[in-house]
Amino acid sequence: MITLLTGKKGSGKTKKLIDLTHEAVVNSKGNVVCIEKGDTLTFDVDHNARLVNIEGYSISGFDSFYGFISGLCAGNYDITDILVDSTLKIGGGDLNQLTAFLARIKMLTDSAKVNITFSISADSADFPEEIFKLAEIK
């Protein structure tokens, strides 16, 4: 399942993502991964979740971001939840490319049985219609 936390900068998306990470750690029977750009969540995310600073992997663009997430799932089949902060800063700001990325991620979540939550600093009213078919918007 794909969930999108949407809203303008400062609307509380990161706080919700942190809360969802803590919830996933408590409820998961596997591993929880939280991906961020930078190291601002180091002291906020439960130590039982794997916190990944994506800046250390030279990821730019949605294609390489998809490869990174696929690699995580391929390397550890016990991952149940992946939560991503600052999605558009990692992949780029093009909402059409985001749509194509989410379509590929949807196939991954269906086959790997992993829940992925993305925080996106954008108003959902600006999203292409296809995104609403691919993900739950919060």
What totals of helices (H) and strands (E) does the chain contain, helices first? Answer: 5, 6
Q: What is the pTM of this model?
A: 0.93
Residue 12 belongs to a domain with what CATH number?
Answer: 3.40.50.300
Summarize pLDDT for 83-94 with one digit per residue, the tens. Answer: 999 999 999 999
Structure-token match 């609307």, residue found: 11
Section 46-73 average pLDDT: 94
Residue 42 CA from chain centroid, whole number: 17
CA distance 64 to 60: 6
Expressed as residue numbers, the domain containing 55 is: 2-137
Share of the chain above pLDDT 70, in %: 100
Structure-token match 């991620």, residue found: 105
Section 24-39 average pLDDT: 94
Q: Biggest alpha carbon distance in the chain? A: 37
Q: How many domains does the chain have?
A: 1
Summarize pLDDT for 82-131 with one digit per residue, the tens. Answer: 999 999 999 999 999 999 999 999 999 998 899 999 999 999 889 999 99
Predicted pLDDT of residue 43: 83
